[in-house]
Structures are given as C-alpha cells and as structure tokens.
Amino acid sequence: MMRVINKKMVALTLFVILATACEAPDQKIFDEIDRDFALSSTDPTVLASFAASAYTPLNGTWGAHNSLWSLHEVSSDEMAITQKGADWEDGGQWIRVHRHQYQPTEESINNGWAYCYSAIGNINNLLKSFGSNAILRANFEVLRAMIYLWLIDAYGNVPIITEETTDSTPPTVPRAQVYAFIESSVVNNLDKLEKARTYATVNYYVGQAILAKLYLNAQVYTGTAQWQKAADACQAIISSGVYSLEPNFFNNFVTRNSGSVENIFVLNYDENNAGGFNLPQMTLHYASQATFNLQQQPWNGYSTLEEFYNSFNSADSRINSFLVGPQFSSDGKRLEDLSAEPNDPDGPPLTFTPQINMLAPNAFRQSGARVGKWEFRLGAGPNLSNDYPIFRYSDILLMRAEALWRINNASAEALSLVNQVRARSWPGNPIAALTADELLAERGREMFAEGYRRQDLIRFGRFNQAWWEKPASAATKNIFPIPQAQRLSNPDLQQNPGY
C-alpha cells in the first residue's frame, strides 16, 4: 500500500523524459522543489520523500504481463501460458518462451529490457540533480545496482549507463564487468544506508540482500563461486534481528501486507495510485470474476505445470498457493464455463485441474492449477494493492543454507535453516539430510511465483533439462537475447551467443 509522507517542502511535480534503452538519459525537469533543502538534509524521512520518484518506475511492468516476471516464470518449470485455440496464441511467443526457443524479436524480451533501462535512466536523472547529497547518492546507487542485478541475470552482457554517460550508443560490456559494477555500487555505499527497517525503500539490509543474490549466483555470472560471501551477506541480515518469519506464510501476500516483519524490500503497489500488479487478470479463468467480484474479467492465461504442483505435499500449507478443484461464485454458486471444450472430462462446471492436456494449440480452458499465493480482494480492480516482495527473510535463510551447504554439504547449520523455514508451513516434517534435490524443491515450495525459479534452476544446473512440453535446451538459453529493437537503435550492442 502507498504511504504518504507529508513534509511541507517535498511536493514533487515531475515531468520525466525517461531514457530510452541505450541512450544517455535526458535531464529531468523538476518543479516546486527546494533543491538546496534536499541537498543539505540528513533527515531519513525527508530524504525518503525526495527519493520517492526513484521507486515509482519499478512498479512498472514487474507485476504485469509480458515483461521480466513473465519471462522468468514461463521459461521455468513453474508456469506456462497455454494456447487455447486462438486465445493466447500471441504469435507463438509464450510457446517459444516455454520451450526455450525465444528469439530477439520477442515483445516480452524487449519490454523487460526497456523496463530496466527506463528505471535506470530515471535514477541517473535523480543523481544528476541530487547526487551531491551523500545519503541520497547511496540510496540511488544501490537501487540502480538492484536493477543491474536483474539485467545481468536476464541478459548477461549489458551496457553500464550512469549519470555520467555521454555516449548515445553505449556498448555491451562483459557480464563479469557488470558484476563488479553491481558489487562496488553496493559495498561502497553500505555504511551510508540506514540500519533500520524501512518500507519499500533501500536500507542497509536491502543492500546486503542484493549482495547475497549477487554472490549466490557469482559462479553463473563470472565463473568464480562466492559462497562464503553469500553466506556472510545473509548473516548480516539474520544477526540484525530486524526481520523474522511471519507466523503465517500467507501474511506476506495479503492485500494489506505492509505490516509483514518478513518482507525486506517490496514494490509498493496500490490499486488507485500505483497500479501494475495484475495477477488475478493474468491467471484466473474468465468466470472467476464472479468468485472475487472482480471489476474486470480475467484473461485465463497463466497456470502451473502439473509436476511442479505435485511437488507440494497436501500437509504443507504452501499448497494453498494454488487454486485447484471446483470453483464457486462469491455467494457459493457453482460456476460454469459454457464454452468448455466438448472433450474436457470436467464438462462445463468450472474445475481447475492440475493436469494440462496440452501446451498448444487446444489446451482446455479450465486446465492447470492457478496462482493463488496473493490474496485477491473481493471487488478488486485489475490492479492489486498487495505489495510485491522482492526480498523476504525466508529467502535469506534459504540462501545462507544453500551457500553453507555448497561449502560443506554436511553443514548442520544449513540443515537447521532449511528446516526452520519448512517448519512454519509443514510442521513435524523436517528434512533429515540436505541434497541438491531437497534444496531446490524447498526453494520452489517457498518462493513459487516470486520470480526466482529460472535463476534457481540455472544455478542448480537444471534449466536446460527437458520437462513437460519442453525439450532439452542449450546452455546459451540461460540468458535471453539482446532485443532486436534495441540493437536496431544501438549498433554497439553485441548479441549474446546462440542468437
């Protein structure tokens, strides 16, 4: 939910010309700002108000269809967007993404790139105006580093664009160089970040979470593992005592989840003032509008692969991250899909079955478990007010466990950390010994639909394996291609191998 901070000198009216993907960003025009006040202030609340415009673009397309989140999820073994006749054909894009046959011309791949670089351009503009304030600079540089973490993960070799960039066609630089830029951007600013719980803004612990993700995937990004550094970054958060596990797993995903003691950094969505989180539209069946009294009809797109759904035990409360079985209206009436396929064994009564009959071209309209991890408020519009967690404390515990396990696969602490997370949702069923399979499965159950499954599969060496309706894929598919639209506007972008 949006938090409004009322300070007399912090009224921002911003007319923003966002940087296009590979151009040096244009200067923002600020109106009604006391710039000197911002540059001299050290009050965290005041500075957070001035910094607010750095965070707004992040809502963008993260929680929406056809951008980075969609790519991470549909290319993984968690989800698919099945083609139901002409519905969701979309030029074959989602079939190709599922099968790791994506091309530089995919709309989603260009959207993800543009989303990241637009947010970076906005931050660079803020650095030009307010970068002489050391605290603001630290916050902006660490936030920018987080976005570069998304870029290095998705695209590999990308341009580094800062507020000092003057080259209108900045070239791609090696992944290892981007890695070093992210690391230095965070490490050099940690001591300037607030060591306290903040909400939807960067603090010391967000910086450590960025480093933890960077180091956990260092072997993928640079060829050199950094397991101890990953473990240490996680421990800095754990030792602080600032965050803890919510007693109820789903407290982190309810409509009013700003009180979560587990969410370290979130995208601050609000249905009226900060839209862009469209999950019910993306996953629910058309008739599900009556289940939640939604203001608009859903699109019947995203569903979960049967094998992934079956990796959850019925005694594990996290299985309620899915919507399955007979569906009803909000007043208890059985819903029907009068357009259900004649050969659908469930017939017209609306029933979400974990089994999906095919990926394309004639998937059943009702097939596939749907994403139900976030609360869908009765009467919600197309934009949710649930804040989207980017970093959660349970993920920190699991990351430290994995890093320690990779250093020593008999680590008692690693096993204890995994069982600590597991016990919340599946009490009385601890893991006896950690294996790669157990670690990956536990991460899948805990982090489902939070945008990390693709990254996890790559790190565990599973991303290129075959799964339902997907053949084995080449290692070059571990990063997406540089979008063709970007290369047309910037000839200095070098395409990734295999495309």
Q: Is 264 left (phi over 0), alpha (psi -120 to 50) or beta?
A: alpha
pTM recorded for the entire structure: 0.93
Residue 34, pLDDT score: 64
Note whether residue 146 is domain-resident.
Answer: yes
pLDDT of residue 38: 67
Q: DSSP E strands: which ranges in 277-435?
A: 302-304, 322-323, 325-326, 351-352, 370-371, 388-392
Residue 72 lies in a domain: yes
Closest CA to 374 of 279, 268, 272: 279
Residue 40 placed within a domain: yes
Backbone phi, psi, residue 265, to 5° = -145, 135
What are the CA-CA distances from residue 431 to residues 273, 317, 408, 417, 445 (Å)? 44, 16, 17, 11, 14
Tokens of 96: 């190709």
Whether residue 74 lies inside any domain: the answer is: yes
Give residue 52's pLDDT: 87
CA distance 353 to 369: 6
Q: How far is CA 186 from the centre of its chain?
A: 20
Closest CA to 231 of 434, 439, 413: 413
Separation of alpha carbons 246 and 59, rounded Å: 24
Q: Do the domain assignments include residue 451?
A: no
Domain that holds residue 33: 1-169
Domain count, the chain: 1
Let me know if residue 92 belongs to a domain.
Answer: yes
The tens-digit pLDDT sequence of the chain (499 residues) is: 333 333 333 333 222 323 333 333 333 333 445 667 767 778 777 777 788 899 999 999 999 999 999 999 999 999 999 999 999 999 999 999 999 999 999 999 999 999 999 999 999 999 999 999 999 999 999 999 999 999 999 999 999 999 999 999 999 999 999 999 999 999 999 999 999 999 999 999 999 999 999 999 999 999 999 999 999 999 999 999 999 999 999 999 999 999 999 999 999 999 999 999 999 999 999 999 999 999 999 999 999 999 999 999 999 999 999 999 999 999 999 999 999 999 999 999 999 999 999 999 999 999 999 999 999 999 999 999 999 999 999 999 999 999 999 999 999 999 999 999 999 999 999 999 999 999 999 999 999 999 999 999 999 999 999 999 999 999 999 999 999 999 999 999 999 999 9
Residue 15 located in a structural domain: yes
Q: What is the pLDDT of residue 9?
A: 30
Are the C-beta atoms of residues 171 and 159 closer than 8 Å to each other? yes
pLDDT of residue 44: 73
Count of residues making up the chain? 499
387, part of any domain: no
Tokens of 410: 């008999």
